[in-house]
Amino acid sequence: MKVAIGQFAVSHLWQENVQTCLHYMDTAQADGADLLVLPEAVLARDDNDPDLSVKSAQAVHHEFIQPLCEQSRNNQLTTILTLHVKTTAGRAANTLLAIRKGEVIARYQKLHLYDAFNVQESRLVDAGNALPPLIEVAGFKVGLMTCYDLRFPEMALNLALAGAEVLVLPAAWLRGPNKEMHWSTLLAARALDTTCYVVASGECGNKNIGHSQIVDPLGVVMAAANQRPALFYAELESQYLSEVRAMLPVLKNRRFALPHLL
């Protein structure tokens, strides 16, 4: 499976962000990608207004998603991103959407809200209460996660035990002391915990680190970006995944059952 990551700085105008997403989708599809992972909260962002993503929230099938669905209608590319979807007055759900062949084929409401490092995502965002689904892309089973979910190993493990071979993670990882180190360490750890490929797209810009990565099941970085907008690729191999899982059978060697997540 050929996977692509599109990393960019989200604008305060959702119309501009739609065009950026469409550009990455068009290029990734032309380059033969099966899966494209875009950042978290691509609807709108403003350094001077941390609430803009929620203020700009739309319904799932509204102006932002419609052109992306239309772009996907005549090809097999699966595109994954998150945006804020309206819930009640002044509140929203941070919602991951998987788009393919003109439809939203899966959605997931972020479980772990970023109430850490002096930020309180839950102030305006409603947490989900259900594990994300697995989707199939080019013969691989793909598990869905969003940003702060990365810090919770039981979630990645739950997805792997359900059959996931690839974990995808749209993110907007905030800058701060040691945050790049946290990001790279956790991506490698989740790959090693689960012997899954990890495909993580990070929003770049003034407040978020970028540094998107594609990591193999042994925690090795296959491809990565720096702090600038980028579109890059890697080939995921089912044979290699099988070899790693035979050599490092951590999913089979477990001695303790996973507690129920919720």
Question: 46 pLDDT band (50/70/90 cuts)?
Answer: very high
Catalytic site includes residue 147: yes
CA 259 – CA 33 distance, rounded (Å): 36
What pLDDT was estimated at residue 147? 98
137-146 pLDDT, tens per residue?
999 999 999 9
Residue tagged active-site, from 21, 40, 203, 204? 40
In a domain, 259, yes or no: no
* Count of domains observed in the chain: 1
In a domain, 58, yes or no: yes
148-162 pLDDT, tens per residue?
999 999 999 999 999
For residue 45, pLDDT over 80 is answered with yes
Catalytic site includes residue 196: no
Distance of CA 92 to the CA centre of its chain: 18
Question: Which three-class secondary structure string do you get for the chain?
Answer: CEEEEEECCCCCCHHHHHHHHHHHHHHHHHCCCCEEECCCCCCCCECCECCHHHHCCECCCCCCHHHHHHHHCCCCCEEEEEEEEECCCCCEEEEEEEEECCEEEEEEECCCCCEECCEEHHHCECCCCCCCCEEEECCEEEEECCHHHHHCHHHHHHHHHCCCCEEEEEECCECCCCHHHHHHHHHHHHHHHHCCEEEEEECECCCEECCCEEECCCCCEEEECCCCCEEEEEECCHHHHHHHHHHCCHHHHCCCCCCCCC
CB-based contact 36:77 (threshold 8 Å): yes
- DSSP β-bridge partners for residue 234: 3
% of the chain with per-residue pLDDT over 90: 95
pTM for the full model? 0.96
Q: Check which CATH number belongs to the domain holding 128 and give it.
A: 3.60.110.10
Residue tagged active-site, from 21, 147, 196, 204? 147
CA 226 – CA 246 distance, rounded (Å): 33
In a domain, 205, yes or no: yes
In a domain, 74, yes or no: yes
Work out the number of other CB atoms within 10 angstroms of the CB of residue 67.
Answer: 15
In a domain, 70, yes or no: yes
In a domain, 262, yes or no: no
For residue 241, pLDDT over 70 is answered with yes
Residue tagged active-site, from 21, 110, 121, 203? 110
Catalytic site includes residue 40: yes
CA 198 – CA 178 distance, rounded (Å): 21
In a domain, 260, yes or no: no
In a domain, 90, yes or no: yes
Structural domain harbouring 25:
2-247
pLDDT, mean over the chain: 96
